[in-house]
Amino acid sequence: MVGHLSRPASTAADPLDQLVYGPPATTALPAAPAALPAVAPATSRRIVFTNQLTPATYTQLRQYEYWGRLAIHEILDAALSAYFADKPEAHQALPEKERAKLRGKLLE
């Protein structure tokens, strides 16, 4: 007959556990990152596009996505909105030919 296979609860003073797993962790979890400023979306519609990031920036993006409990589109929208806030070129109207290309993308 097979005995009960559940493992008994170990205590913090169990020397075998400390030998195998090391001493109990005493460090606190890192503080949650500061949230990016909230930016009210103009619309719930999004444009899908492709871009490239360095591995380090992509890693930071994914880390912030996880720890900040945000979606990547929310992070990018807030970051780009903050970046463009003091860039006059970002607020300057495009020439007609470029505006037509943009309109085509926005209507898809």
Considering the domain boundaries, does residue 7 fall inside one?
no
- Widest distance between CA atoms in the chain: 84
CA-to-CA distance for 86 and 102, rounded, in angstroms? 22
Considering the domain boundaries, does residue 84 fall inside one?
yes
CA-to-CA distance for 47 and 45, rounded, in angstroms? 7
Return the amino acid letter for 100. Answer: A
Residue carrying structure tokens 């400390």: 18
**Whether the predicted model's global pTM rises above the 0.75 cut:** no
Domain count, the chain: 1
For residue range 34-73, what is the model confidence (pLDDT) as tens digits? 544 444 455 678 888 899 999 999 999 999 999 999 999 9
pLDDT above 50: residue 18 = yes
Domain span holding position 103: 53-108
For residue range 63-104, what is the model confidence (pLDDT) as tens digits? 999 999 999 999 999 999 999 999 999 999 999 999 999 988
CA-to-CA distance for 82 and 77, rounded, in angstroms? 9
Considering the domain boundaries, does residue 105 fall inside one?
yes
Considering the domain boundaries, does residue 23 fall inside one?
no
Considering the domain boundaries, does residue 41 fall inside one?
no
CA-to-CA distance for 58 and 61, rounded, in angstroms? 5
Considering the domain boundaries, does residue 24 fall inside one?
no
Q: Where are the beta strands (DSSP E) in the chain?
A: none
